[in-house]
C-alpha cells in the first residue's frame, strides 16, 4: 500500500521516495492522495504524487469496495451520493460514514480527486485542449473543471499545462498516448502471453510486443494499443471517435493489466507455499489478468468448458465473423467489434459453424445476459455471482469462477482449467486442485494466475 507523507508546516504531501526531508514531528501520513487533499494538503511539485498508481480501498469492507468500483466507473460524474447509496441499498449518510472511517474521504471527495489527477496527467502527457481534457476526465462542465483543479492543485488548468516538463509530453503517430503507471515489478511477458493465448481473433491481437484490440464507444469503433513503456509504466495509445469519458477507458485498461494492483499481501502469504513459492519467484510482479469486456470473457469461458484452446479460438473467430460488426481498414489482424449479448442471442450460430449443443448453450447465455444486465456485475460477492451464473443451463462452476477471476474477484479459482491441471501434474501434484486451493484463501485468483502462467507458452521474442 502506498503511503503519502504530508508536511504540516508547508501544506504539501509527497509520494514515497521524494527527496524532501522534513522533521518527523511535522509529518502526517495518508493512505490515499485524496485523503491528504481532503485534509487541506496540496501535491508536491517535485515528486508529483498524482502520477503514481495505487489501489483504493483494498482493505475496506466489501460495500466500500463496491462503492469505489462504481465511482471509478463514473457513478458520481453526473450522479449524486444519494443515488450511489440507493444502488448499494444504504443511506447516503451511512455511505459517507463508511468512507470516512475506512478511506478518510467522502465519496464525492474521492471522485473529485480521481478526476483531477487524471486531468493533470492529460495536461502533462497530451496536447488536448483544456476543454477536451475536462470532458475526457469526466467533468460535467468547464466551470466545475476549473473549480476542482484549483481546489486540488491550487492552480488553474492553463497554469498547470504551462508547468509541464519537456519530457512529459508524449507524441503518437495518430491517436493519443498516455502513461499507465504501476508499482514495479510487473511481469509483462507472462501477462501478455496469457492475453495472447486467449485473444479473440479479429478483436484482439498480441504482436510485436503490444496488445491491441477494437472497442465500441456509444456505437462507434475505436482501437487501443498497450505496450511496456518502462520500468514503472505501460504506454496506452488510444484511437477513439471522441475523447469524452476517456478516464473510464483508461481505468478499464488499467484494471485489465492490473496497474493499480497491490500484489505484496498475496506474495507474502503464498511465498512459503511448496507449490506456489517457486512459481512466484519465477514470475515476480505477475498480476491477475483483468478484462476489457465482461461479456467477451464470459463467452470465452463458456466455450472453454468442453473444448481445447485451438478449437475455442476457431469458435470465437466464427461467432465474431457471424455476429461482430466489421471495422474496415485496420491492421494487426483486427477486423471486427465483439458482438453484444443482444446481437449474439439473435444469431444463428449453427449456421456459423458451431456445434448445435454449443450454439444452444451460448445463445441461451447471451439471451440471459441481454435480459439481466446484472448477471455479469462484478460488484456482488463471489458466492452470489457464481451462483447466478451456474443457474444458467450449460454454465459450470469452473467457467463461473474463470469469469469471476477476470472480473476482479480475488478469491475466484477455476479448478477445472486445463492449464492449471497440467501445471499441477507437471509438478507431480495429484491432489484435487480445488481442495488444494482451500489453503490459498483469500488469494486464490492470484494463485490460479501463477499456475496458468506456468503452463502458457511464452511469446516468441
CA pair distance 169, 309, nearest whole angstrom: 41
- Is residue 460 scored above 60 in pLDDT? no
Q: What are phi and psi of 372, to 5 degrees?
A: -130, 95
**Model confidence over 96-154: pLDDT tens digits?**
999 999 999 999 999 999 999 999 999 999 999 999 999 999 998 999 999 999 999 99
Examine the residue annotation and report whether 14 is marked as an active-site residue of this protein: yes
Distance CA(234)–CA(187), nearest Å, equals 11
Share of the chain above pLDDT 90, in %: 74
Contact present, 128 and 120 (Cβ < 8 Å): no
In sequence order, the 6+-apart residues with CB closer than 8 A to the CB of 327 are 214, 221, 334, 335, 336, 337
Q: Report the C-alpha dihedral over residues 299, 305, 306, 307, rounded to 10 degrees.
A: 60
Residue among 14, 44, 47, 65 flagged as catalytic = 14
The predicted-structure confidence for 70-91, as pLDDT tens digits, reads as follows: 888 888 988 899 999 998 889 9
Residue 20 has φ and ψ, to the nearest 5°, of: -65, 140
Q: Omega of the bond prior to 458 within 30 degrees of 0, cis?
A: no
Q: How far apart, in whole angstroms, are the C-alpha atoms of residue 288 and residue 224?
A: 20
CATH hierarchy code of domain 4-51: 3.40.10.10
Please name which of 234, 181, 429, 66 lies closest in space to residue 421, comparing C-alpha atoms.
429
Say how far apart CA 282 and CA 64 lie, in whole Å: 34
β-partners of residue 248 are none
pLDDT band at 3 (very low <50, low <70, confident <90, very high): confident
Question: Is the pLDDT at 335 greater than 60, yes or no?
Answer: yes
Q: pLDDT tens for residues 383-418?
A: 999 999 999 999 999 999 999 999 999 999 999 888
- DSSP class of 21: -
How far apart are alpha carbons 272 and 263 in whole angstroms? 15
**Would you state the pLDDT for residue 78?**
83
pLDDT single digits (tens) 236-275: 999 999 999 999 999 999 999 999 888 999 999 999 999 9
Does residue 32 carry a pLDDT above 80?
Answer: yes
pLDDT for 58 equals: 66
**Per-residue pLDDT band at 52 (split at 50, 70, 90):** confident
Q: How does the average pLDDT of the chain come out, rounded?
A: 91
Largest interatomic CA distance in the chain: 73
Which residues of the chain form CATH 1.10.10.60?
Answer: 62-167
Span between the terminal Cα atoms of the chain, in Å: 33
The rounded distance, in Å, linking the Cα atoms of 161 and 145 is 14
Could you give the 3-state DSSP secondary structure of residue 173? coil
Give Cα 392 distance to the centre of its chain.
26
d(CA 152, CA 121): 13
Comparing C-alpha atoms, which of 247, 234, 245 is closest to residue 179? 234
Active-site residue (options: 411, 417, 428, 432): 417
The CATH superfamily label for domain 62-167 reads Homeodomain-like (1.10.10.60)
Known catalytic residue: 189?
Answer: no
Q: Which helix (H) or strand (E) holds 319?
A: helix 309-323
Nearest to 126 by CA among 53, 50, 179, 47: 179
The whole-angstrom separation of Cα 262 and Cα 3 is 13
pLDDT of 198 over the 90 cut: yes
Question: What would be the CATH architecture of the domain defined by 179-455?
Answer: 2-Layer Sandwich (3.30)
- Among 22-26, 301-305, 456-460, which is the least confidently predicted range? 456-460
- Label residue 60 by pLDDT band (50, 70, 90): confident
pLDDT exceeds cutoff 80 at 1: no
Buried-state track 377-410, b at ≥16 Cβ within 10 A, e below 16: bbbbebeebbebbbebebbbbbbbbbbbbbbbbb
For residue 280, pLDDT beyond 50: yes
Q: Nine-digit cell at 180?
A: 499507465
For residue 231, count other CB atoms closer than 10 A to its CB: 9
Element holding 68 (H helix, E strand): helix 62-72
- Name the band, by pLDDT with cuts 50, 70 and 90, for residue 461: very low
Q: Torsion angle of alpha carbons 185, 189, 192, 198, nearest 10°? A: -120
Q: Could you tell me the strand order of the sheet in which 204-207 lies?
A: 176-181, 233-239, 220-230, 210-217, 204-207
**Domain(s) of CATH 3.30.310.20: residues in the chain:** 179-455
The helices-and-strands tally (H runs, E runs) of the chain is 22, 9
How far lies 276's CA from each of 40, 183, 267, 409, 450, in Å?
A: 44, 22, 9, 19, 8
Return the percentage of the chain with pLDDT > 70, whole number: 97
Amino acid at each position: 500500500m502506498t503511503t503519502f507523507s504530508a508536511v504540516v508546516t508547508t501544506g504539501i504531501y509527497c509520494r514515497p521516495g521524494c527527496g524532501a526531508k522534513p522533521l518527523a514531528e511535522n509529518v502526517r501520513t495518508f493512505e490515499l492522495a485524496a485523503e491528504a487533499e481532503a485534509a487541506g494538503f496540496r501535491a508536491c511539485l517535485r515528486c508529483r504524487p498524482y502520477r503514481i498508481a495505487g489501489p483504493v480501498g483494498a482493505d475496506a469492507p466489501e460495500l466500500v469496495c463496491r462503492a469505489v468500483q462504481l465511482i471509478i466507473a463514473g457513478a458520481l460524474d453526473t450522479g449524486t451520493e444519494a443515488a450511489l447509496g440507493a444502488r448499494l441499498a444504504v443511506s447516503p449518510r451511512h455511505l459517507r460514514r463508511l468512507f470516512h472511517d475506512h478511506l478518510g474521504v467522502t465519496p464525492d471527495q474521492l471522485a473529485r480527486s480521481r478526476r483531477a489527477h487524471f486531468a493533470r496527467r492529460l495536461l502533462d502527457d497530451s496536447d488536448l485542449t483544456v476543454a477536451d481534457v475536462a470532458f475526457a476526465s469526466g467533468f460535467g462542465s468547464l466551470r466545475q473543471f476549473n473549480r476542482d483543479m484549483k481546489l486540488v492543485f491550487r492552480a488553474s488548468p492553463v497554469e498547470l499545462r504551462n508547468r509541464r516538463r519537456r519530457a512529459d509530453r508524449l507524441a503518437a503517430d495518430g491517436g493519443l498516448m498516455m502513461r499507465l503507471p504501476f508499482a514495479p515489478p510487473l511481469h509483462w511477458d507472462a501477462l501478455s502471453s496469457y492475453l495472447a493465448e486467449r485473444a479473440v481473433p479479429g478483436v484482439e491481437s498480441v504482436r510485436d510486443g503490444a496488445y491491441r484490440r477494437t472497442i465500441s464507444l456509444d456505437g462507434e469503433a475505436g482501437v487501443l494499443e498497450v505496450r511496456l513503456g518502462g520500468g514503472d509504466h505501460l504506454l496506452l495509445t488510444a484511437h477513439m471517435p471522441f475523447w469524452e469519458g476517456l478516464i473510464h477507458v483508461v481505468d478499464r485498461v488499467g484494471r485489465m493489466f492490473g496497474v493499480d494492483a497491490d500484489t505484496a499481501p498475496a506474495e507474502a502469504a503464498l511465498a512459503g507455499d511448496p507449490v506456489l513459492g517457486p512459481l512466484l519467484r519465477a514470475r515476480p510482479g505477475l498480476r491477475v489478468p483483468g478484462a476489457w469486456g465482461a461479456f467477451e470473457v464470459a463467452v470465452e469461458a463458456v466455450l472453454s468448458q468442453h473444448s481445447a484452446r485451438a478449437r475455442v479460438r476457431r469458435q470465437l473467430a466464427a461467432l465474431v465473423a457471424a455476429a461482430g460488426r466489421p471495422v474496415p481498414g485496420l491492421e494487426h489482424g483486427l477486423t471486427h467489434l465483439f458482438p453484444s449479448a443482444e446481437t449474439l442471442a439473435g444469431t444463428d450460430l449453427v449456421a456459423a459453424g458451431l456445434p448445435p449443443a454449443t450454439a444452444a448453450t451460448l445463445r441461451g447465455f447471451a439471451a440471459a445476459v441481454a435480459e439481466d444486465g446484472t448477471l455479469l456485475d462484478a460488484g456482488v460477492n463471489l458466492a452470489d455471482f457464481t451462483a447466478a451464473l451456474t443457474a444458467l443451463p450449460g454454465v459450470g462452476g469452473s467457467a463461473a469462477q474463470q469469469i469471476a477471476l477476470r472480473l476482479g474477484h480475488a478469491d475466484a479459482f477455476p479448478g477445472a482449467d486445463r492449464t492449471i491441471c497440467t501445471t499441477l501434474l507437471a509438478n507431480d501434484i495429484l491432489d484435487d486442485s480445488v481442495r488444494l486451493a482451500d489453503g490459498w484463501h483469500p488469494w486464490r485468483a492470484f494463485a490460479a494466475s501463477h499456475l496458468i502462467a506456468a503452463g502458457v507458452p511464452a511469446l516468441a521474442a
